[in-house]
Amino acid sequence: MSAAKLNVINACWSTRSGDPILKPLSLSLNAGRVMGVVGANGAGKSTFLRLLYRYLKPSQGSIEIDGRDIWSLSPRLVAQNVAAVLQEQPTDFALTVREIVELGRTPYRSILSTKNENDSTIVDSALRKLELSEFAGRRFGTLSGGERQRAMVARALAQEPSLLILDEPTNHLDIRHQLEIIELIRDLDMTIVTSLHDLNMAAGVCDEILLLKQGAVLAFGPPQTVLTNQSVSYAFNVSAQSEKLMPTDRLHFTYTLMGRT
């Protein structure tokens, strides 16, 4: 497993009826970097992520992983390189947590082969990282929302991708598990693209931020450059105030509705 370089080249997406949902967008993310995608509801975050994990094909432009257009690769090769943890959970409620995590190994198996020792080691390690070992035998449907979320992250890790896409990964998680997921994200040897609603968390965990508004890029770059009072106020239609927290100099935003104090 190694991290991949991501190139988005003039990619855009429109509905069949021609509504432009995501306007042409270009960016480069170096291997191993963590990019946060932020913006108000409906700004185009999920649409952008869907282009990256090849659920949607760009109407124009392309997405490259290590210089290869993802639409030129076989689905199996894409699945060996890109894993996504989405907000919609699968409906395989009858599977055990271990079976769910084992699904992450599917792209590495041929039709006739069964799981091997290496698969088991990787699955065990993913379960341990997400503190799910004791849940391994439990049916997925009996888990809490946060436990399910962690199981889906474990499945993505078992897939050993070079690009990991996370849609609101801390949704459903309590404070400690939020911190654990964030720490895990920072430690993984993968390139990571994650949508986040919490700008303070995004500023703390991400190397780069993509700020979207109405399907267009407002800014892309390091958090300190992208997340200004002005850009955040404009993107979210609020009055945003930031301060730098000591001793780390981390950005911390507070918000009020426009015209109110």
Ligand X SMILES: Nc1ncnc2c1ncn2[C@@H]1O[C@H](COP(=O)(O)OP(=O)(O)OP(=O)(O)O)[C@@H](O)[C@H]1O
Do the beta carbons of residue 182 and residue 34 sit within 8 Å? no
Compare residues 38 and 153 and give the one whose CB is closer to ligand X. 38
- Least distance to ligand X from the beta carbon of 47, Å? 3
Give 166's strand partners: 85, 194
Name the region of 20 (left: φ>0; alpha: ψ -120 to 50; beta: rest). Answer: beta
Phi, psi of 178 (to 5 degrees): -60, -50
Residues from 80 through 109 that contact ligand X (CB under 6 A): none
* Options 41-49, 151-159, 201-209, 234-242: segment touching ligand X (CB under 6 A): 41-49
Do the beta carbons of residue 130 and residue 156 sit within 8 Å? no
- Least distance to ligand X from the beta carbon of 46, Å? 3
Q: Which of 2, 15, 229, 237 binds ligand X (CB under 6 A)?
A: 15
Q: Is 18 in the site for ligand X (CB under 6 A)?
A: no
3-state secondary structure 56-105: CCCCEEEEEECCEEHHHCCHHHHHHHEEEECCCCCCCCCCEHHHHHHHHH
- Least distance to ligand X from the beta carbon of 119, Å? 33
Q: Is 46 in the site for ligand X (CB under 6 A)?
A: yes
Q: Is 2 in the site for ligand X (CB under 6 A)?
A: no
Structure tokens, 70: 């993802």
Number of residues that bind ligand X (CB under 6 A): 10
Q: Which of 3, 25, 29, 45 binds ligand X (CB under 6 A)?
A: 45
Q: Is 42 in the site for ligand X (CB under 6 A)?
A: yes
Helices of type H across 162-227: 175-187, 199-205, 223-226
Using CA atoms, how far apart are residues 126 and 25, in angstroms rounded to an integer?
A: 34
Compare residues 41 and 113 and give the one whose CB is closer to ligand X. 41
- Least distance to ligand X from the beta carbon of 39, Å? 5
Binding positions for ligand X, rule: CB under 6 A: 15, 21, 39, 41-47
